[in-house]
Amino acid sequence: MITTSTLNTAGPTARTDTRTPAARARWAWLVLGTAAHLLAVGGRWDVAAAAWLFPVLLLRFARTGRAWSGALWLWAANIAAAVCWLVESAMLSPFALAGAAALAALLTGT
């Protein structure tokens, strides 16, 4: 008779993924929203539909979690889009980066 063991054979250091599917979907909303945001900033790879899509994806991310952590991640996504636009426009400087961080904070708060 063949029996199977129910013991964990991976050892004591094995880590099981404790995230729920909803938590994984939340981070997918952020990644997809940020990618769409980068395509909507007016660079070489400008996609008009991305300008309509990224706010929906980022709003879905923000509504599925805590307010402060969502706001920080949205601020990071807005900074990434602003930096992408600055690089595409060849206007990258410390002053422009400070302005981009301030603008990202304004966009996050609205």
- Condensed to tens digits (0 to 9), the pLDDT of residues 46-103 reads 888 999 999 999 999 988 888 888 899 999 999 998 898 888 888 889 999 999 999 8
Whether residue 39 contacts residue 82, with contact meaning beta carbons closer than 8 Å, is answered with no
**Cα→Cα distances 92→80, 85, 87, Å:** 13, 9, 6
pLDDT tens, residue by residue, 26-53: 899 999 999 999 899 877 778 889 999 9
Residue 41 DSSP label: S
Burial readout 8-17 (b: 16 or more C-beta within 10 A, e: otherwise): eeeeeeeeee
Q: Which two tokens stand for residue 54?
A: 């990224």
| Whole-number Å distance between alpha carbons of 85 and 81 | 6
Query: Which sequence spans correspond to the domains of the chain?
Result: 21-109
